[in-house]
């Protein structure tokens, strides 16, 4: 745990990346696995994670992210895209996955399936999409922690035009919405932000024990 906390102190929202440095295939695999193993409501994972490496595509996305250089200079760009209007089909796929993975008959999971479908169907469309978008932030948290363990820099970003991202990436046709993004790579020596002291609330201000 001491190493974990040390790495959390080491990481920061990198402002300037060294475009010449790329993440190794093995480290990228580890980060992807950390994202895949993330917790989510019911374990449903109502989102996709798109990893953009194509330079031309990233230039387009940079324009839709107000010119932020992390979009193009980082080794990879992760885009967490939540399902829009998720429903029974997603639940059925999940139940099938549980059945196959755990060797449990699908009909034995009918109660769990009906409960999830009932909850999801009871939500208005807007609330449903807010719920799926929230799940992407849990996966983002896993990415940030895994990257810091590998001494890989990461920048979580909400400063982008989601509608433009959706159009550029064809998400509208896939029933997806760009919820949050993260640039990952290696900090540039010239990035002054790496030398700033981390500013957080004190334990006394942050935590309430009842």
Task: Specify the residue for token string 């990461």.
Answer: 154
Instruction: Check which CATH number belongs to the domain holding 183 and give it.
Output: 3.40.109.10
pLDDT in tens, 90-130: 999 999 999 999 999 999 999 999 999 999 999 999 999 99
What crossing angle do the helices spanning 162-169 and 55-63 adopt, rounded to 10°? 150
Q: Does residue 10 fall inside a structural domain? A: no
| Residue 34 lies inside a defined structural domain of this protein | yes
Please state the pTM of the whole predicted model.
Answer: 0.96
Give the residue numbers spanning the domain of 181: 21-188
Residue 108 belongs to a domain: yes
Rounded Cα distance, 56 and 208, in Å: 48
Q: How confident is the model at residue 1 (pLDDT cuts 50, 70, 90)?
A: low
Q: Is 40 exposed, middle or buried (0-12, 13-18, 19+ CB in 10 A)?
A: middle
| Mean per-residue pLDDT, 18-31 | 98
Say what the alpha-carbon torsion angle 163, 164, 168, 173 is, to the nearest 10 degrees. 20
User: b or e along 96-105 (b: 16 or more beta carbons within 10 Å of the residue's beta carbon)?
Assistant: eebeeeeeee
Assess if residue 7 is contained within a domain.
no
Asked, for residue 12, whether it belongs to a domain, the answer is: no
As for how many domains the chain has, the answer is 1
CA 15/CA 139 separation, integer angstroms: 21
- 16 inside domain: no
**Domain contains 196:** no
Which tens digits make up the pLDDT trace of 130-180? 999 999 999 999 999 999 999 999 999 999 999 999 999 999 999 999 999
Please check whether residue 193 lies inside any domain of the structure.
Answer: no
> What is the residue-averaged pLDDT of the chain?
97
Predicted confidence at residue 2, as pLDDT, reads 74
């Amino acid at each position: 745990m001491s190493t974990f906390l040390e790495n959390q102190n080491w990481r920061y929202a990198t402002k300037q990346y060294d475009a010449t440095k790329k993440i190794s295939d093995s480290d990228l695999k580890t980060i992807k696995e950390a994202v895949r193993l993330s917790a989510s409501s019911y374990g449903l994972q109502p989102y996709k994670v798109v990893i953009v490496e194509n330079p031309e595509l990233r230039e387009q996305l940079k324009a839709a992210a107000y010119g932020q250089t992390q979009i193009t200079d980082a080794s990879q760009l992760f885009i967490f895209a939540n399902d829009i209007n998720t429903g029974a089909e997603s639940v059925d796929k999940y139940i099938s996955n549980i059945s196959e993975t755990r060797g449990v008959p699908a009909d034995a999971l009918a109660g769990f399936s009906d409960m999830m479908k009932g909850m999801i169907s009871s939500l208005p469309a807007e609330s449903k999409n807010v719920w799926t978008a929230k799940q992407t932030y849990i996966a983002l948290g896993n990415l940030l922690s895994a990257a810091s363990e590998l001494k890989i820099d990461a920048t979580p970003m909400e400063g982008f035009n989601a509608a433009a991202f959706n159009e550029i990436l064809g998400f509208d046709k896939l029933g997806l919405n760009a919820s949050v993004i993260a640039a990952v790579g290696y900090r540039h020596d010239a990035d002054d932000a790496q030398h700033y002291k981390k500013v957080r609330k004190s334990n006394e201000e942050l935590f309430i024990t009842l």
